[in-house]
Structure 1
């Protein structure tokens, strides 16, 4: 794919906002709504059925509970999903039940005293919900009720947002998901009510066009995302909504899809998923068990059906759930899939890379033996820094799969509520932050190197380069030296996927004026036993051997880390940690090599 043209950040004018098309105009217009009704391919039928199913469930549900939660984010997300489903279901069916309930939900949201300005993410999500509901149902809502909803958008979202400062890395212009979510939601709200105050709408939308590219910088150059795969889905979904809202109501996207690495991030999403279907769970990764609507947008935007394959499978799972699979929940943005799905999209011979390396804010590398074999060997490793939004002290950490089992795991995020209750400085990424005392966020809960039990240096960054080896043997080197400043003088981790589907993890370090004890960590859900050459892991009827070199100089411990250690920690059922220790004298170099041999590979060579 050729590189997109440079972004165009020319501002949208108040005069343009005075001349916006009538409603609906956000993401979709009346003609597009009309064209959706006869859209009758298999995928569209399934999406329509799911929208109808969600809408029917809302009809049978009670009102959203806004009162019993400390922040409004979760009930606001719930009402957003309800409004989207009900409004779309009404536009497809003309069933007044959906219209009436959507109006109820809009009035309930508008009646709140405020939309959570102390946690502005809630405001952005609420503005999106109210803006789309008002826009899509505009002609069916009585004028007095329109005024009520529009006033709520203005007084509870748009005007309060003007109190936020720029230039302080806050939600307005931070390099993290809040920027995209808040600016997109507010822009949708502004475009929904633009005819009432074009000047206010101009300020809101231009602020978004000006600042969302700051959040977009983290995708460069290859599409990797530092906050983790689940936060990629969150921030990127709202980024896409802003693009489409500007296209439909603003006359253009203002180049927001042309940010370096943004479109490439669809491949990042694919690459982060292993053969088991599990994702690389680095940083504050949340297991959400829901589908991913924006993959249909990326497929259409890039003309690549291969980007939609996994999402189409998830739509099928939602349509025909199986008792043998983990229950999948519909994403609250699922109704947008009907707008983003292109039934004319045809399959092309797209070749997914078996070895993918990304640079930028989050260097990451992925190697896999196959894209089609669910028992393939897969290893993914990350660089980057702990000093970024939602980051963990996990630089050099990896996950590994083979024979249908994830053998090396990353436990993902800890409960924010649990961390807050324990007095943890949740969003403090400084060296001495109590954040790092949390098992899942700190160095204790990751597949990394440690020296004398110390933490990684948050000012450091791990860079990843491709290592040239034999043909057909992918490998990467992670330079970890700056993460261990004052501990050792040089550290590198090399990961190699061999032709026999074994994985070699080779660590080398050089000490300074003091000796060190190195500790090599591997977290697993497997049963672990010792062997003369190292270790044997057993899980789900499969095996993985770890061959350790030099075996004579190392000590190996297998620790039970399943229990909660501190007040802020959740239990980790079945989790064990392998720790291989090696003492290194001052002024010397050492190497530790661990080869992971899947049972299937061992059988082929025996």
Structure 2
């Protein structure tokens, strides 16, 4: 991803952003110098140790190339020696292999002239025997890591390609075989971005898979001069906007699917900004970089993204201008239909609502189709608790990666239907064979609105289901649900998870949190029951506790062969017209 000339340029790159990134790189490298060796023994999988060594090697190698400080070179060589001494890089969990190959490949390449020949041979041999050769056992056409439509494809193929390109002059035929396989198969994973850039595995796995996709692009460009069009896959460049839209004014993401908050920054946003010539894509990341660069060494505690040194390569100091105007209403189709509405991009107290479609039957998916999150007045009122600990689920015997209808995965609170803001009928689960599609709606008031067709998620339960979400002009939000029953009556249950203090009012409910309030009005209030359930404690062995979490459940019995409607309006305390009814939905939703 860089040669001697590029490193020479980086040394003299002296704009404010570059200085801040360099300061962070040196802070991280200094922390590594006094850190204990990475522990490879006594861990169930090598993924986390090799991620740690990857971050160390990147920081140390970049710090050395910027400063010529021999301390960084010595420690980087030590990290590479210890990694190369392992007899296996975790072939039973091939993500580990892909990550280790990036560490070894970049370390070998960036420090090549400073590493003695015997050490170079040892590192190159480890790449070949621990990564490239074992990968040849993978069979294409099985939806495994080599050709699946999920992040493993991008991570493993990119990592192996980095390793292959680093040793290509030693074994050009093997390297070509590895790299060409990646070029052939990464577009399969890339199909999930089409057409608008949304990503089905959630925001954190978006960052993971997309980062390695970018690494592959840049590795190919630097070595061969040709990315093979991997950045031109439909929706891939548009996915930078997806990342922006998924974050609410509270700074919290839409935490659907298996969501892990791991890093404080997102380096690939600088790559997208440079690639597209859009400074607006970099603004949030630049603010994080400046904040981190002003923090003490103890405060950063190696928490920045392990790919942070790449930001120096991906940042273009000449990038200027306002960039693209961000839309307040964004709707994406494809594998993961999703819709986002917000009242402002600049007001931290703005109203923000995001709703998802899609299917539970996809990598890292939850049973959360139709679920939503809502921010207003600086508070996240409707929450998604994110993912459960994989280790905890394994220990409880949960079939972690089984997405079939009867999978025990759905018995986990955070993964299954219990832990999401969805509709339920007779307490049944959603149908994993179904998919929720989202369309924009035209309203008489001009307020942004989307309708989610949920019918296929409730096959055999009701005949038709739609959820409409509208952000009104007074910053209130309307959640309007309509369903038609079949030959049997059903009891519908409407779920809203919140960390707020909840009380029942004559009109519905009142939520209070952090000195703010949100009123929920319910129509029809007659013939409904409203309950506030404490779901803060762990329910089963596989479940973590959820401190402060409550679940509002509104139940409504519906006779056979009828159509029912339930409308819940969320009115922020700051709304000027609490009783405003100026919105107008299409007639079938009124």
Task: Flag whether TM exceeds 0.5 (same fold).
Answer: yes
Shift of 1:348: 2.5
**TM superposition shift of 1:369:** 0.2
Shift of 1:429: 0.1
Cα distance change, pair 358–584 in 1 and its aligned pair in 2 (3 A): same
Distance in structure 2 (CA, Å) of the matches to 1:508 and 1:525:
27
Using the alignment, how far apart are the partners of 1:328 and 1:287 within structure 2? 15
Distance 2:133 2:312 in 1: 32
Q: 1:66 aligns with which of 26, 33, 40?
A: 40
Q: Deviations over 1:453-510 (max 9, x none)?
A: 0000000000000010135400000000000000000000000000000000000000
349, 357, 361: which one aligns with 1:383: 357
Match status 1:82 vs 2:56: yes
The 1:589–1:369 alpha-carbon spacing in structure 2 relative to 1, beyond 3 Å, is same
Partner of 2:583: none
2:530 to 556, 566, 569: 556
1:225 shift after superposition: 0.1
Q: SS at the partner of 2:460?
A: coil
How far 1:251 moved relative to its partner? 1.9
Aligned length: 579
Is 1:337 matched with 2:311? yes
Note closer, same or farther for the CA distance 1:328–1:404 as it changes in structure 2 (3 Å cut): farther
- 8 Å CA contact 1:48–1:338 kept in 2: the answer is yes
| Equivalent residue, structure 1, for 2:408 | 434
From 223, 226, 242, the equivalent of 2:197 is 223
Separation in 2, partners of 1:348, 1:504: 33
Question: Equivalences for 1:141-160 in 2 at 5 Å?
Answer: 141-160=115-134
User: Does the CA-based 8 Å contact 2:277-2:323 persist in structure 1?
Assistant: no
Tell me what 1:49 maps to: 23
Q: For the Cα contact (< 8 Å) 1:321–1:327, is it kept in 2?
A: no
Question: Counterpart of 1:600 in 2: which secondary structure?
Answer: coil
Deviation at 1:603, TM superposition (A): 6.6
The aligned residue for residue 176 of structure 1 is 150
**C-alpha separation in 2, matches of 1:588 and 1:322:** 63
Q: What is the match of residue 36 of structure 1?
A: 10
Does the 8 Å CA contact 1:464/1:477 hold for their aligned counterparts?
Answer: yes
Distance (Å, rounded) in 2 between the aligned partners of 1:537 and 1:81: 43
Question: How far apart, CA to CA, are the structure 2 residues paired with 1:288 and 1:560?
Answer: 27
TM-score, L = length of structure 2: 0.97
Q: Which residue of 2 aligns with 1:261?
A: 235
CA distance in 2, matches of 1:519, 1:73: 41
Shift of 1:349: 4.8
Q: Quick check: 1:128–1:186 contact (8 Å CA) kept in 2?
A: yes
In 2, the alpha carbon distance for the partners of 1:174 and 1:307 equals 29
The aligned residue for residue 506 of structure 1 is 480
Equivalence for 1:16 = none
Change (3 A) 1:320 1:605: farther
2:392 is paired with a residue of what secondary structure? helix
1:369 equivalent to 2:353? Answer: no
- 1:85 is displaced (CA, Å) by 0.3
Once residues 83 and 321 of structure 1 are traced to their aligned partners in structure 2, the CA distance between those partners, rounded to angstroms, is: 22
Which runs of structure 2 are paired with 1:459-498 in the superposition (5 Å)? 459-470=433-444, 472-498=446-472
The CA deviation string for residues 337-374 of structure 1, in whole angstroms up to 9 with x for no partner, is: 00000000002252100000000000000000000000
Measured after TM superposition, the shift of residue 328 of structure 1 is 9.0
Distance 1:159 1:50 in 2: 36
Partner Cα distance (2:578, 2:481) in 1: 27
- The residue aligned with 1:244 is 218
Pairing 1:267-278 to 2, within 5 Å after superposition: 267-278=241-252
Q: Is the 8 A contact 2:358 2:437 kept in 1?
A: yes
Contact 1:300 1:340 (8 Å CA) reproduced: yes
Is residue 405 from structure 1 mapped to residue 379 from structure 2 by the alignment? yes
Equivalent in the alignment of 2:493:
519
After TM superposition, which residue ranges in structure 1, 4 or more long, deviate above 3 angstroms? 325-328, 602-606
Match of 1:543 among 510, 513, 517: 517
SS in 2 for 1:601: coil
Tell me the SS of whatever aligns to 1:103: helix
Aligned to 1:191: 165
Kept after mapping to 1: 8 A contact 2:160/2:178: yes
Report if aligned partners of 2:255, 2:386 keep a CA contact under 8 Å in 1.
yes
Q: Residue deviations 1:97-136, cap 9 Å, x none?
A: 1001000000000001100000000000000000000000
Residue pair 1:318, 1:328 contacting (<8 A) in 2 also: no
| Distance apart, 1:602 and its partner CA | 4.9
Work out whether residues 289 and 328 of structure 1, in 8 Å CA contact, stay in contact via their aligned partners in 2.
no
Query: C-alpha root-mean-square deviation of aligned residues, in Å?
Result: 1.4
Q: Secondary structure at the match of 2:230?
A: coil
Per the alignment, do residues 105 and 327 of structure 1 end up closer, same or farther by CA in structure 2, a change over 3 Å counting? closer
- Contact 1:289–1:327 at 8 Å: present in 2 too? no
Verify the 8 A CA contact 1:318 1:329 in the aligned structure 2.
no
Q: Rate the CA distance shift 1:490–1:133 in 2: closer, same or farther, 3 A.
A: same
Q: Distance in 2 between matches of 1:576 and 1:319?
A: 38
Q: How many angstroms does 1:320 deviate by?
A: 1.8
After superposition, the Cα gap between the structure-2 partners of 1:72 and 1:327, relative to the gap in structure 1 and judged at 3 Å, is closer
Unaligned runs of 5+ in 1: 1-26
8 Å Cα contact 2:38-2:49 kept in structure 1 = yes
> How high is the TM-score relative to the length of structure 1?
0.94
The alpha carbon displacement at 1:333 in A equals 0.2
> For each residue in 1:37-89, what CA deviation from the matched residue of structure 2 results, as whole angstroms up to 9, or x when unmatched?
01000000010011001001000011100012110000000000000000000
| Deviation of 1:90 (Å) | 0.3
Q: Secondary structure at the match of 2:41?
A: coil
Unaligned runs of 5+ in 2: 581-590
In the aligned structure 2, how far is the partner of 1:289 from the partner of 1:492? 36
- How far apart, CA to CA, are the structure 2 residues paired with 1:107 and 1:458? 47
